[in-house]
């Protein structure tokens, strides 16, 4: 990390494309190559606020978390209805006998049962973004147990069903034997895992969030509450996971320079992000597949962001559809959308017009993932648990980790010229996510982006690349004009402050002019503490993003988990500011930190 020492100064569309037309999404950096009860919620929130305002270990609230255990995997049996239903929404529906479904196993057709409905997916198997094998291996089965945690709950609505999937009718069970035959076989390890998770859920329901006093506590708890497949997807990073580790250790190379005997009774960590109010200078980074951790998935974040006043950025690969998320949104709640651009531009256009139509507030264009990183934990666990063991590792392109599946969808041809095209499609602010060099930050500014997120995708893409915070330091050294004038000054002791020690912050040099147009700089990756957030802001970031932290929080406590996480960050940010002698975010300046080799 040389910059630290050298300067002190698809083709398939997920959330964005639920309709059958925009169903297929694509795939590259822009280089040419409900919570269970309000009462419980209130108890937790009040408990959490009190707890975080005073020593956190005093927080002993006991409450049920809002995890709903009646969803998968317990649905395996209950998904198969015993009764015949003759009508749905007032319309007569065809009934398909269990015998007919089972007989199809020996035919050329692929039929599956999902939540009591029978589908013919013969023409769809080869275009299924989750791969052919998962369906082939489970043909003529009730696949709800596999399907539900990985797909939005409105995926099977007529408007969202790909034309190649045929809905045949409702399942009619003819015998207990046939019901048994329809069930997906659960392996011994999956069975053991179910029991392990349920036991842990029970423990956490008893304890509430009382033992979660920092974000790493959420991490340990989430590991216990996730399936192996889910945990591998969340925790995994590229290759040797060096960048993932450095994302956090780089913050440890920055030391504070606190000023003492300043009145810090009142402190305000609120800010505006792209013009929208935020309680703290931190947002929920877009992260796919929240349902792998909790059945309500991204909706937990939407509700938790609303009640705590922070901003959620929705992943293109969210496991809840964009419509589900926007329906859960409160009036005027800002939501940002993370976009992967489809190589079929008409489909990409559909997504962008949906974003415009649904009133989302900004687009984060992710550019560090023209292809998926090689995430080995993900690949190994997926091979062990779900992919057929014989074919999973035939050749690299055939590995079936969750991430591999998702990235088979993103356009690798995306390049800087496409930014112009994107700007023509929307009036929303466009932020380039995944910038890892000063050159690309300058390019983003020159080509009209409204900002950049200095990010390496949580270490999940190119291993041993720079960290968000080190790229910020690179910008400070080589292109300080991109920063707000107050942040262009060096880190460490200031001559002006030594001469005027009563002042908290150095003056802005009169020679420094703001940029011609507003350009925001955000940082993410490895932010686990309020101190990390404050360091990034001292060095010139406008705000930061947190990915895994919120995935873990919602895994553990659903909406309340997200709320609790925000309270933890808020408490830590405010106490860091106080201990630094700062009472508002504008006080946070480079002179308050120093970088150690
Ligand atoms: C019936 C229509 C179906 C549609 C429209 C559909 C759609 C999708 C989509 C869009 C993805 C992309 C990955 C993501 O972003 O989540 C996906 C992944 C996946 N689907 Fe489906 N799917 C269907 C049926 C099924 C069935 C029948 C099964 C199981 C037998 C299944 C199992 C999976 C799995 C396992 C993944 C990959 C995620 C992972 O690797 O964990 N899907 N599906
Ligand atoms: C499980 C997981 C899924 C992610 N999915 C996406 C995604 O769909 N789109 C995207 O732009 N970034 C995605 N990211 C990256 C995050 O937006 C963010 O850059 C990263 O998580 C920040 O690092 P942190 O996890 O250490 O906070 C994902 C990260 C994780 C951990």
Nearest CA, atom 4, ligand 2: 287
The atom of ligand 2 lying closest to the CA of 526 is 26
d(CA 543, CA 534): 9
Ligand 1 lined by 129 (C-beta under 6 Å): yes
Confidence of residue 372 (pLDDT cuts 50, 70, 90): confident
Query: Residue 186: what pLDDT?
Result: 81
10-19 mean pLDDT: 30
CB 223 within 8 A of CB 231: yes
- Ligand 2: residues with CB < 6 A are 233-234, 247, 285-288, 315-317, 338, 366, 433, 455, 457-458, 460, 524-527, 545-549, 551
For residue 313, which atom of ligand 2 is closest to its CA?
Answer: 17
Confidence at residue 426, expressed as pLDDT on a 0 to 100 scale:
97
ipTM, 2 dp? 0.86
313 membership: H or E segment, kind and range: strand 311-314
In this structure, what are the phi and psi dihedrals at residue 566, rounded to the nearest 5 degrees?
A: -65, -40
Q: How far does the centroid of ligand 1 lie from the alpha carbon of residue 292, in Å?
A: 13
Q: How far is the CA of 286 from the centre of ligand 2 (A)?
A: 6
Predicted local distance difference test score (pLDDT) of residue 42: 35
Q: Whose CA is nearest to atom 10 of ligand 2?
A: 286
Same domain? For 571 and 429 the reply is yes
- Domain membership of residue 340 (yes or no) is yes
Question: In this structure, are 311 and 379 located in the same domain?
Answer: yes
CA 230–ligand 2 middle distance (angstroms): 14
**What CATH number is attached to the domain comprising 86?**
3.10.120.10
**For ligand 1, is residue 383 a contact (CB within 6 Å)?**
no
Asked if residue 507 belongs to a domain, the reply is: no
User: Beta partners for 282?
Assistant: 544
**Residue 502 covered by a domain:** no
Taking the centre of ligand 2 as the mean of its atom positions, its distance from the CA of residue 460, in whole angstroms, is 8
Residue of minimum CA distance from atom 6 in ligand 2: 287
- Does 68 score more than 70 pLDDT? no
Say yes or no: 225 and 173 in one domain: no
Do 334 and 258 belong together in one domain? yes
Provide the β-strand partners of residue 594: 255
Find out whether 319 and 152 touch, Cβ atoms under 8 Å: yes
> 173 CA distance to ligand 2 centroid (A)?
43
Phi/psi-derived region of residue 548, left when phi > 0, alpha when psi is between -120 and 50, beta in every other case: alpha
Question: Higher confidence at residue 37 or residue 87?
Answer: 87
34 shares its domain with 165: no
Burial 539-561 (b: 16+ CB within 10 A, else e): bbbbbbbbbbbbbbbbbbbbbbb
Same domain, 104 and 19: no
- Residues 387 and 451 occupy one common structural domain: yes
The pLDDT, as a whole number, for residue 401 is: 52
Best residue for ligand 2 mutational test, from 30, 460, 466 (most atoms within 8 Å of Cβ):
460
Helix (H) or strand (E) holding 301, with range, is helix 298-308
Question: In angstroms, rounded to a whole number, what is the distance separating the alpha carbons of residues 248 and 456?
Answer: 12
End of a domain among 182, 200, 228? 182
**Residue ending a domain, choose from 162, 182, 202:** 182
Same-domain status, 289 and 345: yes
Asked whether 138 lines ligand 1 (CB < 6 A), one says: yes
The pLDDT of residue 437 is 98
Query: What CATH number does residue 279 fall under?
Result: 3.20.20.70
Residue nearest to atom 19 of ligand 2 (CA): 457
Better pLDDT: 24 or 274: 274
Q: Decide which of 182, 202, 226 is a domain's last residue.
A: 182
For residue 61, name the pLDDT band (cuts at 50, 70, 90).
very low
Q: Ligand 2 centre and the CA of 284: distance in Å?
A: 10
> Which of the ligands is closest to the CA of residue 249?
2
Residue 233 placed within a domain:
yes
- Which residues span the domain enclosing 222? 2-41+218-491+518-581
CB of 15 shorter than 6 A to ligand 1: no
Work out the mean pLDDT of the chain and round it to a whole number.
Answer: 83
Spacing, Cα 130 to ligand 1 middle (Å): 5
Tell whether 60 is covered by a domain: no
Q: Is residue 69 part of a domain?
A: no
Residues 33 and 119 in one domain: no
Report pLDDT digits (tens) over 163-190: 899 999 999 999 999 999 999 988 888 8
What stretch of H or E contains 398?
none
SS3 431: strand
**Which of 285, 288, 340, 553 gets mutated to test ligand 2 (max ligand atoms within 8 A of its CB)?**
285
Closest CA to 9 of 557, 559, 494, 558: 494
Residues 118-133: pLDDT tens digits? Answer: 999 999 999 887 889 8
Which of the ligands is closest to the CA of residue 433? 2
Asked if residue 310 is part of any domain, the answer here is yes
**Predicted confidence (pLDDT) per residue in 536-583, tens digit:** 999 999 999 999 999 999 999 999 999 999 999 999 999 999 999 999
Query: Cis ω on the peptide bond leading into residue 260 (within 30° of 0)?
Result: no
Residue 128 in contact with ligand 1 by CB distance below 6 A: yes
pLDDT at 402: 53
Largest Cα–Cα separation, the chain: 89
Q: Based on the fold, state whether residues 445 and 354 are members of the same structural domain.
A: yes
CA of 455, nearest ligand number: 2
pLDDT at 91: 59
113, 118, 130, best to mutate for ligand 1 pocket (most atoms within 8 Å of CB): 130
3-state secondary structure of 306: helix
Q: Which ligand is nearest to the CA of 241?
A: 2
User: Alpha carbon of 165 to those of 97, 139, 205, 257, 494: distances in Å?
Assistant: 19, 14, 39, 61, 66
What gap in Å lies between CA 402 and CA 390, rounded to an integer?
18
Active site residues: 340, 368, 457
> Burial code of 106-142, b = ≥16 C-beta within 10 A, e = fewer?
eeeebbbbbbbbbbbbbebbeebbbbebbbebbbbbb
Atom of ligand 1 nearest to the CA of 112: 27
Which of 226, 240, 209 has the alpha carbon at shortest distance from 375?
240
Q: Where are the beta strands (DSSP E) in 318-374?
A: 335-339, 362-366
Range of lowest pLDDT (199-213, 340-354, 558-572)? 340-354
Residue 374 domain flag: yes
140 and 253 together in one domain: no
**pLDDT tens string 428-484:** 999 999 999 999 999 999 999 999 999 999 999 999 999 999 999 999 999 999 999
Atom of ligand 2 nearest to the CA of 549: 27
pLDDT reading at 244 higher than 90: yes
Closest CA to 40 of 574, 564, 418, 570: 564
Testing ligand 1's pocket by substitution, the residue of 75, 112, 147, 381 carrying the most ligand atoms inside 8 A of its CB is 147
Mutate to test the pocket of ligand 2, among 351, 458, 467 (most ligand atoms within 8 A of CB): 458
Closest ligand 1 atom to Cα of 151: 16
Residue nearest to atom 15 of ligand 2 (CA): 457
Closest CA relative to residue 250, chosen from 550, 544, 527: 527
Q: How confident is the model at residue 382 (pLDDT cuts 50, 70, 90)?
A: low
pLDDT given at position 409: 56
Tell me, rounded to whole angstroms, the distance of Cα 390 from its chain centroid. Answer: 32
List for the chain the helix, strand, coil content (%; round to 5). Answer: 45, 10, 45
Nearest ligand, CA 157: 1
Domain co-membership, 398 together with 257: yes
pLDDT over threshold 90, residue 421: yes
| Cα–ligand 2 centroid distance for 238 (angstroms) | 12
Average pLDDT over residues 493-520: 96
Number of domains the chain contains: 2
- Give the residue from 241, 394, 230 showing the smallest Cα distance to 319: 230
């Amino acid at each position: 990390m040389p910059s630290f020492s050298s300067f002190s100064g698809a083709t398939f569309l997920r959330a964005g494309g639920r309709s059958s037309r925009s169903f297929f999404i694509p795939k590259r950096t822009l280089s040419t190559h409900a919570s269970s009860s309000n009462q419980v919620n209130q108890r937790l929130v009040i408990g959490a606020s009190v707890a975080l305002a005073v020593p956190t270990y005093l927080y002993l609230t006991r409450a049920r978390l809002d995890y709903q255990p009646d969803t998968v995997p317990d649905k395996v049996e209950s998904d198969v209805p015993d009764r015949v239903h003759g009508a749905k929404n007032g319309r007569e529906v065809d009934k398909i006998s269990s015998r007919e479904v089972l007989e199809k196993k020996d035919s050329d057709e692929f039929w599956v049962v999902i939540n009591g409905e029978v589908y013919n997916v013969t023409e769809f198997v080869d275009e299924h973004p989750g791969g052919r094998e998962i369906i082939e291996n489970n043909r003529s089965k009730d696949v709800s147990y596999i399907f539900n945690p990985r797909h939005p709950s409105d995926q099977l609505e007529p408007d969202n069903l790909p034309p190649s999937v045929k809905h045949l009718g409702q399942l009619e069970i003819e015998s207990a034997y046939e019901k048994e035959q329809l069930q997906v076989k659960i392996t011994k390890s999956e069975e053991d895992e179910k029991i392990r998770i349920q036991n842990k859920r029970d423990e956490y329901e008893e304890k509430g969030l009382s033992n979660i006093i920092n974000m790493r506590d959420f991490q340990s708890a989430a590991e216990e509450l996730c399936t192996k497949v889910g945990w591998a997807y969340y925790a995994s990073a590229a290759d040797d996971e060096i960048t993932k580790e450095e994302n956090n250790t780089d913050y440890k190379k920055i030391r504070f320079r606190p000023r003492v005997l300043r009145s810090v009774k009142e402190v305000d960590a609120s800010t505006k992000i792209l013009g929208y109010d935020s309680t703290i200078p931190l947002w929920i980074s877009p992260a796919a597949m929240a349902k792998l951790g909790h059945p309500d998935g991204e909706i937990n974040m939407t509700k938790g962001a609303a009640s705590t006043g922070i901003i959620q950025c929705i992943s293109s690969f969210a496991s809840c559809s964009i419509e589900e998320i926007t329906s859960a949104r409160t009036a005027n709640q800002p939501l940002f959308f993370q976009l992967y651009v489809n190589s079929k531009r008409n489909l990409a256009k559909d997504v962008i017009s949906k974003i415009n139509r649904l009133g989302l507030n900004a687009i984060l264009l992710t550019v560090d993932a023209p292809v998926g990183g090689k995430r080995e934990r993900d690949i190994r666990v997926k091979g062990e648990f779900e992919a057929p063991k014989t074919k999973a590792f035939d050749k690299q392109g055939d590995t079936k980790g969750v991430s591999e599946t998702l990235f088979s969808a993103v356009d690798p041809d995306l390049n800087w010229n496409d930014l112009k095209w994107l700007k023509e499609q929307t009036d929303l602010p466009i932020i380039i996510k995944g910038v890892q060099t000063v050159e690309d930050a300058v390019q983003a500014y020159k080509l009209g982006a409204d900002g950049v997120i200095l990010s390496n995708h949580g270490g999940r893409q190119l291993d041993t690349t720079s960290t968000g915070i080190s790229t910020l330091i690179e910008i400070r050294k080589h292109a300080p004009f991109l920063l707000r004038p107050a942040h262009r000054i060096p880190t460490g002791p200031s001559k002006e402050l030594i001469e005027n020690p009563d002042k908290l912050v150095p003056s802005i040099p009169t020679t420094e002019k703001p940029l011609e147009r507003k350009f925001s700089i955000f940082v993410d990756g490895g932010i686990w503490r309020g101190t990390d957030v404050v360091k990034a802001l001292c060095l010139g970031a406008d705000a930061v993003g947190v990915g895994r932290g919120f995935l873990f929080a919602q895994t553990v406590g659903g909406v309340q988990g997200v709320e609790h996480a925000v309270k933890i960050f808020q408490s830590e940010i405010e106490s860091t500011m106080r201990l630094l002698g700062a009472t508002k975010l504008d006080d946070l300046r480079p002179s308050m930190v120093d970088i150690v080799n």
